[in-house]
């Protein structure tokens, strides 16, 4: 069976995807180094695995409620950050107004009634 060579356009598209993938990997690595440095500067010796595990419990919940007219109401709300989350955000200098953005507010409606897919 002959091997089909990609067209010049397809090859350029593939090369662009590879470049983008490498760029995002390098960007993620730099972000990781900055996060680890922020903790080390405060004398906190931890790993990315530990931080990721601790932060994984601070989540955003999405509730989709169908209405009687066939539409749906979508509500997004974050869980209240626990002390471990607040400590991590403080080390990373995340402003308190961002961390507690929805903690004191009621639920936020992020989409108006949208037709449910049929």
Quickly count: other Cβ atoms within 10 Å of residue 93's Cβ.
7
Give me the pLDDT at residue 7, please.
Answer: 67
- CA-wise closest residue to 81 among 90, 93, 70, 71: 90
pTM above 0.85, yes or no: no
Indicate the pairing of strand 60-66 with strand 108-115.
Answer: unpaired
DSSP-derived 3-state class of residue 30: helix
What pLDDT is attached to residue 55? 93
Give the rounded distance of the alpha carbon of 23 from its chain centre: 18
Question: Rounded CA gap, 108 and 102, in Å?
Answer: 8
pLDDT of residue 57: 92
| pLDDT tens for each residue of the chain, 118 residues long | 556 666 666 666 788 889 999 999 999 999 999 999 999 999 999 999 999 999 999 988 899 998 888 888 888 888 889 999 999 999 999 988 777 655 445 555 555 545 545 5
The DSSP symbol for 93 reads T
């Amino acid at each position: 069976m002959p091997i089909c060579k990609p067209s010049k356009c397809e090859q350029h598209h593939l090369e662009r995807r590879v470049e983008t993938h490498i760029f995002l990997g390098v960007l993620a690595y730099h972000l990781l180094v900055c996060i680890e440095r922020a903790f080390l500067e405060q004398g906190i010796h931890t790993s990315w695995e530990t931080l990721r595990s601790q932060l994984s419990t601070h989540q955003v919940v999405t509730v989709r409620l169908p209405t009687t007219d066939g539409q749906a109401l979508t509500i997004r709300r974050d869980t209240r950050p626990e002390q471990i989350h607040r400590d991590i955000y403080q080390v990373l200098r995340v402003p308190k107004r961002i961390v507690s953005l929805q903690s004191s507010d009621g639920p936020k409606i992020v989409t108006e009634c949208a037709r449910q897919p049929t």
